[in-house]
Amino acid sequence: MNFKHKYVFLFPGLFVLIGILIFPIIFTIRLSLSGWNSYTPEMNFIGITNYIRLFTDDPRFWESFFRLSFLSVTTVILQYIIGFALALIVWREIKFKRFFRVIFLIPMMTTPVIMTVIWRTFFHESLGPVNDLLGNLGVEPILWLSDPVIAKFTVIIVEVWQWTPFMFLLLLAGLLSLPKEPFLAAAIDGASSFRKFVYVTFPLMAPISIGAIIIRLIEASKIMDTVFVLTSGGPGTATETSSFYIYIKGLREFQMGYAATLSFTYLVIMIISLTIIAKVLTKLMIKE
Amino acid sequence: MEKLYKFLKYTFIILWTVFIVAPFLWAISTSFKDFQSVNSKVTYIPWLDFEPTLEGWRVLVKSPARGGVDIVEPYFNSLFVTCTASLISIVLGTLAAYALSRFTFKAGFVRNNDITFFFISQRIMPPIVLSIPFFIFLSTIGLLDSLIGLVVVYIVLLMPIAVWIMVDFFNRVPKELDETALIDGCNPYQAFYKVVLPNSIPGLIVAGMFCIIFGWIDFFFAFILTFTEVQLLPVKVVALNSSITPWWSLSASALISVAPLIIVAFVVERYLSKGNLSGALK
């Protein structure tokens, strides 16, 4: 089975994707070499001036990048631990298994921005239920959205709520597709549940875990919607992530050229760091 | 020991369930409140804590001229963009996935895996990186603030998902299936259409659901690339948030916007329990 038929299958999709993407990518690179802003909205050529500015004179971008790394790594670790625990629990027979499975899946079906609108009222510092219930227990009102440190954790809570289900789904689907024999063998040997998990389940799940973590890291690195609605990057720049900073530079201050520089640099950093993370995780989790 | 473990297990899933359900319960309760019961003190239970009204829900169907929030049009816009983009992505993505799973491609150093990776890697692209050029691109060809423009952009978001799920799925469909069909005198297209496709329904459903989820929940592109002519649901609800915030109509519109996809959770669970999903998602 060969001939030219294979191209008929592949090319429509490939060319549509390339066709849509080629312009934005080339345009971004070209734009990053220009000084396009609201005073001179034109495609002039200023060489690598923007890149020099980024690498020597823009601590705010690098701060936002490290903040993003902190937020996405923390949320993904939490999602992995909680998601794995939930998947293990509903993998085996328990009461109301299917009910719990549905419940655990629901948050990922809801629109993040819209849920964040609800979360904003939920964490409202004087009219929200969280501070009210805590107040009944005698806890001082917590500044969920206006304290620079706590606001980060509020973002993490919302992200964990939103995306643990995705991790849960990938891990549960993986657990359900595992072969039965290793577990039977372990049962015959009389291994305890804990030993079974360490020596059988976890190693078998390693490839699936890596896949799930990488997918989630990719998606988490795009955190934007939540921050946008919940805190707008504030208080100050306490929850500002790279995407949000680029958004401010590009579409609020209209420094298009500089924003393109940021975008392109950010994209390159993302691709490199995700590749490294994938390699490291594979080394750590799959032992020969 | 066994008892303690069981106790911890149930405590954990019950606490997690409460955490998941809490914002929904709060939103449902808030949607029936009026000014007094939102702003005086925090209230929870209708009739006990406050007198419920239907005002929050009534605004949704009123015309904007009479102080209503027109949510019907954004609803259909969202539905149209999501479904069209998902459909195109699934058709093109499935064809490409089939090609990548069954044939070998060689072009210089590029192999099948590299092409698959190219498709999937588009998900790495942060929306913000694409949105500025798309903004200029779409305004040049006059598709800014239009449904078609959004569909074009959403295809980039969704096709990688379709390819990712379908390549894995087709790799699991035995090759003998198409080979038998070819021996029986089908041409490759007939083999694909008449034999492989009908055996791939579970994969197609999973891919379709994922496309619909990720299309429906997108906010950023809709926010950047549309203004007044076309409004999608998430943008509309967030716009409500930034104005004076009547929490009751905000909650009601939020609830009605997230409701349709919750059905998807039931469908996913069904496939999970039948074991069809495990193959499609690994």
pLDDT winner (highest mean) among A35-39, A240-244, B196-200: A240-244
| CA distances from residue A7 to A3, B91, B106, B120 in whole angstroms, order as listed | 9, 15, 12, 19
Q: What is the pLDDT of residue B282?
A: 45
B254: which chain A residues are within 8 Å (Cβ-Cβ)?
A: 114-115, 117-118
C-alpha B159/C-alpha B115 separation (Å) is: 13
Tokens 């074009």 belong to residue: B152
Q: What is the pLDDT of residue B58?
A: 80
Q: What is the pLDDT of residue B66?
A: 67
* CA proximity to B244, closest of B62, B59, B61, B76: B59
Tokens 């995306």 belong to residue: A163
Yes or no: say if B243 and A80 are a contact pair by the CB < 8 Å rule.
Answer: no
Q: Which of residues 126-185 of A touch B (CB under 8 A)?
A: 127-129, 132, 161, 169-170, 172-174, 176-177
Q: What is the pLDDT of residue B275?
A: 60
Count: domains in chain A: 1
Q: What percent of chain A has pLDDT over 70?
A: 98
**Hey, is the C-beta of B271 within 8 angstroms of any chain A C-beta?**
no
**Hey, is the C-beta of B119 within 8 angstroms of any chain A C-beta?**
yes
pLDDT at residue B91 greater than cutoff 60:
yes
Q: Do B124 and A106 touch (CB under 8 A)?
A: no
User: pLDDT tier at B1 (50, 70, 90 boundaries)?
Assistant: confident
Q: Which stretch of B94-108, B161-175, B229-243 has the lowest confidence by average pLDDT? A: B229-243
Nearest 5°: phi and psi at B110? -85, 125
C-alpha B41/C-alpha A127 separation (Å) is: 7
Q: What is the CATH number of the domain that holds A126?
A: 1.10.3720.10
**Hey, is the C-beta of A256 within 8 angstroms of any chain B C-beta?**
yes
Kindly provide the b/e burial profile for residues B85-98, where b requires at least 16 CB atoms within 10 angstroms of the residue's own CB: bbebbbebbbbbbb
C-alpha A82/C-alpha B265 separation (Å) is: 19
CA distance A116 to chain B (A): 9
Q: Which residue has the higher pLDDT, A221 or B55?
A: A221
Q: Which stretch of A170-179, A272-281, B58-67, B167-176 has the lowest confidence by average pLDDT? A: B58-67
**Hey, is the C-beta of B277 within 8 angstroms of any chain A C-beta?**
yes
Specify the CATH class of B72-281 in words: mainly alpha
Q: Kindly state whether residue A45 falls inside one of the protein's structural domains.
A: no
Yes or no: say if B215 and A91 are a contact pair by the CB < 8 Å rule.
Answer: no
Q: Which strand (E) or helix (H) includes residue B174?
A: none
pLDDT at residue A283 greater than cutoff 90:
no
Q: Which of residues 181-220 of A touch B (CB under 8 A)?
A: 193, 208, 211, 218-219
Q: Which residue has the higher pLDDT, B243 or B209?
A: B209
pLDDT at residue B154 greater than cutoff 80:
yes
User: pLDDT tier at A32 (50, 70, 90 boundaries)?
Assistant: confident
What does the pLDDT look like over A117-166, one tens digit per residue?
Answer: 889 888 888 888 888 888 888 888 888 888 888 999 999 999 999 999 99
Q: What is the pLDDT of residue B84?
A: 95
User: pLDDT tier at B281 (50, 70, 90 boundaries)?
Assistant: low
**Hey, is the C-beta of B107 within 8 angstroms of any chain A C-beta?**
no
Q: What is the pLDDT of residue B231?
A: 83
Q: Do A129 and B21 touch (CB under 8 A)?
A: no
**Hey, is the C-beta of A257 within 8 angstroms of any chain B C-beta?**
no
What does the pLDDT look like over B223-232, one tens digit per residue?
Answer: 888 887 888 8
Yes or no: say if A226 and A158 are a contact pair by the CB < 8 Å rule.
Answer: yes
Q: What is the pLDDT of residue B70?
A: 77
Domain boundaries, chain B: 2-53, 72-281
User: pLDDT tier at B245 (50, 70, 90 boundaries)?
Assistant: low
Q: What is the pLDDT of residue A1?
A: 47
Q: What is the pLDDT of residue B67?
A: 65
- Asked whether the whole model's pTM tops 0.90, one would answer no
A121: which chain B residues are within 8 Å (Cβ-Cβ)?
A: 26-27, 30, 247, 250-251
Yes or no: say if B38 and A120 are a contact pair by the CB < 8 Å rule.
Answer: no
Domain span holding position A131: 59-254
Closest-CA residue of chain A to B158: A17
Q: Do B250 and A270 touch (CB under 8 A)?
A: no
Q: What is the pLDDT of residue B270?
A: 82
A251: which chain B residues are within 8 Å (Cβ-Cβ)?
A: 131-132, 135, 224
Q: Kindly state whether residue A199 falls inside one of the protein's structural domains.
A: yes
Q: What is the pLDDT of residue B25?
A: 92
pLDDT at residue A220 greater than cutoff 80:
yes
Yes or no: say if B84 and B157 are a contact pair by the CB < 8 Å rule.
Answer: no
C-alpha A196/C-alpha A202 separation (Å) is: 9
B46: helix, strand or coil: strand
C-alpha B125/C-alpha B122 separation (Å) is: 6
Q: Do A208 and B122 touch (CB under 8 A)?
A: no
Q: Do A106 and B20 touch (CB under 8 A)?
A: yes
Q: Kindly state whether residue A38 falls inside one of the protein's structural domains.
A: no
pLDDT at residue B108 greater than cutoff 80:
no
Q: Kindly state whether residue A169 falls inside one of the protein's structural domains.
A: yes
Q: Kindly state whether residue A29 falls inside one of the protein's structural domains.
A: no
Q: Do A89 and B9 touch (CB under 8 A)?
A: yes
* CA proximity to B94, closest of B214, B196, B213: B196
Q: What is the CA radius of gyration of chain A?
A: 23
Q: Do A173 and B272 touch (CB under 8 A)?
A: yes
